[in-house]
Structure 1
């Protein structure tokens, strides 16, 4: 006999769960369809190059803060030495004054008129009285010296205190720039890590080819340096071709851009400022058409990159993180000015 029971209806809870699951799946599918596509190798390279440029801007500011810190540390040390020496001199003056006061007390404790009356040798007393007058005069001079020394010490202590505050601010700025640089480089590395092994290898090979080609086959023409120091600086820099770029480095095994130029000129006996912006003002500015081998070449509007002109439109420089010291066409970067040292 056939059953007349009605088929069991699905529970409302189960229908709700199934509906929610289906909706979530549709939403995820929609999001995936509209998600940003994975950046191409070309786009990643452009972003990484931009981050490296920003890191170099921060590096030059870091270099300036570090140079300022070193100068302040020297100034603070000199001031502290002066204060210590001044305190010793002040102590000696005070001790001398104390000895004078003791001698005066011993010889001048009796009223001068009574001493004269009691003296068996008035002439001898008059000699002693004259000495006491001289002693009082010398004592006054010593008091003036002590007052002057105290004023000088106070001024030096205040100056040292101001320098210490400035040094603390500079160290704080230095730490901030270091953190900024490391953040930029870390972000660039994260982008590179998202590339496939094949894409990474292709980018590395392209950069290696650029370094080899620019360094081994660069045609520098027949231009002659304007001075012996320019020639010596360029020759010194050529010995560092292939050395890695490291931010904040000044050689002899690794360099950043201004680290290379300052090191090269130091080999020629010339001291350059640490920052590229300051190196721009270290000599006579010249146009691109007037460049000679060994002249500095400043790039970008904010002057955050510098290299050495090598001749025939080529620059020798420390390019960026991940690259080595090499020759490169001057037109690859926006020219700012040349500088003849």
Structure 2
């Protein structure tokens, strides 16, 4: 998707810096509306990402519980087999009582005592195994119910998000068209009035930043840089398209660091740090609900996947409502 909004907003920022004219109220209102709709869309994305993370956790827990229950079943079966072998055929078929069977099968009094002691031991162990199996089976059943409940919840949420997503994208498309027309009309008026068109002066981020970033953090930054220009796409984590937490997850995956595909979970995946202590590779979060994340690269800038219709790009962290930062490597 062509990043129309990115180009338009960049033009407006440059115009403001140059001081060529006062802000156009219509353009500013349309820009605010587009920002609001994009924020709603990204919030939906991270809600969906969060549900997928919790669903994956439930599935892993269910698999572990089922494996433990099966292990207990095998252990119990092995214990019961040993008991049957030790007791002997004559005892197991009920032809004589236990003491007689043990006496008949024993080669001497000490062997009789050894058999009796072993039977009591295995009987005690068997009872313990039955108890463990019951606990493991209950845990497995609970984990399976939880997995099914969360799967149903994710399916309901996905359907709801799809409906909201379609509605917001329709509104956003209309908003972009109106914004594009308003900017075109404004720029036409300014050119007619003899105003010069401002040119961009690219900023070069400090490659090292303040302090010493870790090798893994710098590897994540390098990976993110390789995706500059990749399109933003709802719920994606690369390698060709990304949402905000998908980009940071993918970048750190290339550095052999595992992050969840969810801004809220990434917020708790490392050590929270002060803004003055930022180093390249730190995760920077925005908005009160932490629904947007970027990868700090130094010099007050980050690489991030901004919003629907935009692409992975470098931007100042001051351009969004800063919420905090986390160091994961």
Q: Select 1:220's aligned residue among 205, 214, 219.
A: 205
TM-aligned CA deviation for residue 223 of structure 1 = 4.2
1:180-199 equivalences under 5 Å are: 180-192=160-172, 194=174, 199=178
Moved more, 104-113 or 312-321: 104-113
Given that residues 59 and 177 in structure 1 are in contact (C-alpha distance below 8 angstroms), is that contact kept between their aligned partners in structure 2?
no
Residues 231-263 of structure 1, C-alpha deviations (whole Å, 9 max, x = no match): 111111000111122222222222211111122
Larger radius of gyration: 1
1:10-60 alpha-carbon deviations (Å, 9 max, x no partner):
xxxxxxxxxxxxxxxxxxxxxxxxxxxxxx887665444323312322322
Of the candidates 58, 83, 87, which is equivalent to residue 69 of structure 2?
83
Which position in structure 1 is the counterpart of 2:297?
A: 310
* 1:253 equivalent in alignment to 2:240: yes
Q: Which of 96, 99, 123 pairs up with 1:143?
A: 123
1:108-257 → structure 2 map (5 Å cutoff): 109=96, 127-192=107-172, 194=174, 199=178, 217-221=202-206, 223-224=208-209, 226-257=213-244
What is the CA–CA distance in structure 2 between the aligned matches of 1:255 and 1:167, rounded to whole Å?
Answer: 27
Counterpart check, 1:271 vs 2:254: no
TM-score (norm 2): 0.74
| Rounded Cα–Cα distance in structure 2 between residues aligned with 1:303 and 1:59 | 12
* Alpha-carbon distance between aligned partners in 1 of 2:75 and 2:83, rounded to the nearest angstrom: 12
CA distance in 1 between counterparts of 2:265 and 2:215 reads 22
Residue 291 in structure 1 maps to residue 278 in structure 2? yes
What does the per-residue CA deviation read over 1:41-82, in whole Å, with 9 as the maximum and x for residues that have no partner? 876654443233123223223222212221221221122122
In structure 2, which of residues 41, 45, 57 is the aligned counterpart of residue 55 of structure 1? 41
> What value does the CA root-mean-square deviation take over the aligned residues?
3.5
| Separation in structure 2 between the aligned mates of residue 126 and residue 157 of structure 1, nearest angstrom | 39
Q: 1:131 deviation in Å?
A: 2.0
Give the whole-Å Cα distance in 1 for the aligned partners of 2:75 and 2:183: 65
Residue of structure 1 in register with 2:306 after alignment: 319
Q: Structure 1 unaligned segments of length 5 or more: list them.
A: 1-39, 117-123, 206-212
Deviation, 1:169, is 2.6
**1 CA distance for matches of 2:98 and 2:218?**
84
Q: Say yes or no: does 1:96 pair with 2:82.
A: yes
Higher RCO by CA contacts (8 Å cutoff, separation 6 or greater): 2
Q: Supply the distance in 1 between the matched residues of 2:293 and 2:98 (Cα, whole angstroms).
A: 82
Q: Distance in 2 between matches of 1:297 and 1:279?
A: 10
Aligned length: 285
